[in-house]
């Protein structure tokens, strides 16, 4: 894994330069996170694709403020795809990252070869308690992430990268991410998507429960949904082998 930066947007790349004969998996983290969420995918998926794990604006090594609209983050990711002339981009996002993928599938389909939606939904309302915790006791919010973000079967040590990334993200940026989630609603637009889509959800996800992904599968033509056992919301770091298996099968069909 190597780290690069283009116009203030930082990203980890599995190989550099990109192989023009392979599709490019573009991994997009969740609220308050960073590219560290995808450490189990960036190198592991190189056999079938280029891999890029983005730090969204204001997160990780990326400069500038964060955003409070999913569409603004989607514009930043699309801009990176275009700047790097990524071959056959396949954005893959968790939570707000999945919302960004949905926005791209709706607004920039010609740019994409496919999209992967993990632990996300067409509408992402946020409980007021989350905003209260971020604004008044950020350490408590991080504890809540560890408590509710993963399956009870997950080894807590697996969560260290995402907990560390969130602890180092400015609370105002994390709050902006959740405001973006709370405003996001494309429930009545999903039938416009005709780009290939894979939908993954942890069986024990309490933040975006399986009914969210069931709605996506029902309303996105030709999409395929897979429930990942023994995983909560943070599926890529809880069950990386299972996630990578599904990504490999999806890429092979594009």
- The helix (run of H) or strand (run of E) holding residue 110 is none
| pLDDT bracket for residue 110 (50, 70, 90) | very high
**pLDDT tens for each residue of 219-231:** 999 999 999 999 9
Q: For 11-26, what is each residue's pLDDT tens digit?
A: 999 999 999 999 999 9
d(Cα 163, Cα 220) in Å, to the nearest integer?
A: 32
CA distance 157 to 246: 24
The total number of structural domains in the chain stands at 1
Q: What are phi and psi of 231, to 5 degrees?
A: -140, 145
Q: Is the pLDDT of residue 94 over 90?
A: yes
DSSP labels for 67-125? -S-HHHHHHHHHHHHHHTT-SSEEEEEETHHHHHHHHHHHH-GGG-S-EEEES--SB--
pLDDT tens profile 180-227: 999 999 999 999 999 999 999 999 999 999 999 999 999 999 999 999
Please determine, for residue 75, whether its predicted confidence score (pLDDT) is greater than 90: yes
Structure tokens at 202: 């942890």
- Find the CATH number of the domain harbouring 46: 3.40.50.1820
> CA–CA separation, 249 vs 254, rounded Å?
9
**DSSP string of 20-63, one letter each residue:** TTS-EEEEE--TT--GGGGTTTTTTTTTTSEEEEE--TTSTT--
59 contacts: CB under 8 Å, gap ≥ 6: 29, 32, 33, 34, 66, 165, 169, 173
Retrieve residue 27's tokens.
């991994």
Q: Which domain holds residue 87?
A: 2-253
């Amino acid at each position: 894994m190597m780290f690069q930066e283009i116009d203030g947007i930082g990203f980890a790349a599995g190989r550099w330069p990109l192989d023009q004969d392979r599709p490019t998996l573009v991994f997009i983290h969740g609220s308050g996170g960073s590219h560290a969420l995808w450490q189990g995918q960036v190198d592991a998926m190189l056999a079938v694709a280029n891999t890029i794990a983005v730090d969204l604006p204001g997160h990780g090594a990326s400069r500038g403020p964060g955003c409070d609209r999913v569409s603004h983050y989607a514009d930043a990711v699309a801009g990176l795809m275009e700047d790097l002339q990524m071959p056959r981009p396949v954005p893959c996002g968790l939570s707000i990252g999945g919302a960004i993928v949905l926005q791209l599938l709706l607004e920039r389909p010609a740019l994409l070869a496919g999209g992967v939606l993990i632990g996300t939904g067409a509408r992402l309302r946020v409980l007021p308690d989350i905003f209260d915790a971020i604004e008044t006791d950020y350490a408590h919010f991080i504890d809540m992430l560890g408590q509710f973000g993963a399956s009870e079967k997950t080894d807590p040590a697996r969560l260290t990268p995402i907990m560390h990334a969130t602890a180092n993200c400015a609370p105002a940026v994390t709050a902006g991410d959740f405001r973006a989630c709370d405003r996001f609603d494309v429930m009545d637009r999903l039938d416009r998507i005709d780009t290939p889509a894979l939908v993954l959800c942890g069986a024990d996800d309490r933040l975006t429960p399986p009914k969210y992904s069931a709605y996506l599968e029902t309303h996105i033509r030709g999409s395929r949904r897979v429930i990942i056992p023994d995983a909560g919301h943070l599926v890529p770091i809880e069950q990386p082998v299972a996630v990578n298996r599904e990504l490999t099968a999806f890429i092979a069909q594009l």
